[in-house]
Homo-oligomer: A and B are copies of this chain.
Amino acid sequence: MASDHTRSAILAAAERLYADRGFGDVTLRDIVAEANVNLAAVNYHFGSKDELIAELFVTRSIATNRERLHELKVAEEQGGGRAPIEVILRALVGPTLRGCLGPENQRSTVARFMIRASIESVPPIRRIKNREIDHLRKFVSAMRRSLPDRSDVDIYWGLNFALAMAHHTIRESERLTKLSEGKCDLDDVEDVVARVVSVATMALTAGRTETKPPARALARDAR
């Protein structure tokens, strides 16, 4: 039986580098340098670069999904099988936003890696990615239970927009900071989460719900 030390060193180094610089310009030689192992180690332990990426993506996406689904499950159990839409949306976008924004030192490598994977659609990942749809379906179901009057189409669009706002804000956080001359504080992660959840909730409930609290109030409540 092997020590596994080299294997996990490679995985960790690759995850870190991919999260930081994207798949495009990280070479095998970069990874082995970061991991302090020999160049041939990657092919020995993983077979090929693509298989390394695939394993990275599979393990990390399982972990991420488990976290999001756990948060969702807890919420639904508390509500007797039906969670408020805000809570569902929070479970959907909260972990990713928290892992990618905020103070540098508390960002999670996993979250940043997963965002990269969702942005740069590199072949080995694209092949696996169908599973994510199954994962999203669980959120669709929860949203349906939460908003039984809402049409499916509206649910799908609401989900799409929620993910859109979260992912785009992460990807373009630098530009938003520059554009707003620092007025938009991307380090205040909970405010960002609250804003995304608030707008997504409005998208999903407009024209149906009787009470419609203003966005800022919602954002404040959420802290």
Chain A residues close to B by CB (< 8 Å): 24, 119-120, 133, 136-137, 140, 152-154, 156-157, 159-161, 163-165, 167-169, 172, 175-176, 178-180, 183-184, 195-196, 198-199, 202-203, 206-208, 212-217
Q: Are B175 and A133 in contact (CB under 8 A)?
A: yes
Q: Are B120 and A179 in contact (CB under 8 A)?
A: no
Q: Which residues of B contact A183 (CB under 8 A)?
A: 152-153, 156
Q: Are B157 and A195 in contact (CB under 8 A)?
A: yes
Q: Are B180 and A156 in contact (CB under 8 A)?
A: yes
Q: Which residues of B contact A165 (CB under 8 A)?
A: 160-161, 164-165, 168
Q: Which residues of B contact A208 (CB under 8 A)?
A: 214
* A159 CA to B202 CA, complexed, in Å: 16
* A133 CA to B208 CA, complexed, in Å: 37
Q: Are B215 and A153 in contact (CB under 8 A)?
A: no
Q: Are A184 and B136 in contact (CB under 8 A)?
A: no
Copies in the complex: 2
Q: Are A157 and B178 in contact (CB under 8 A)?
A: no
Excluding A164-B165, A198-B206, 5 further A-B contacts by CB distance (< 8 Å) are A154-B216, A160-B169, A161-B196, A164-B168, A168-B168
Q: Are A133 and B168 in contact (CB under 8 A)?
A: no
* A208 CA to B137 CA, complexed, in Å: 35
Q: Are B169 and A168 in contact (CB under 8 A)?
A: no
Known: A24-B24, A195-B157, A212-B212. A152 touches B164 (CB 8 A): no
* A133 CA to B157 CA, complexed, in Å: 28
Q: Kindly provide the distance from the CB of A212 to the nearest chain B CB, expressed in whole angstroms.
A: 7
- The residue in chain B whose Cβ has the minimal distance to the Cβ of A130 is B178
* A53 CA to B140 CA, complexed, in Å: 41
- The residue in chain B whose Cβ has the minimal distance to the Cβ of A183 is B153
27 A-B pairs (CB sep. < 8 Å):
A120-B120, A133-B178, A133-B179, A140-B179, A153-B180, A153-B183, A153-B184, A154-B215, A154-B216, A156-B180, A156-B183, A156-B184, A157-B195, A159-B179, A160-B176, A160-B184, A161-B168, A161-B196, A163-B168, A163-B172, A164-B165, A164-B169, A168-B168, A202-B206, A203-B215, A207-B213, A207-B217
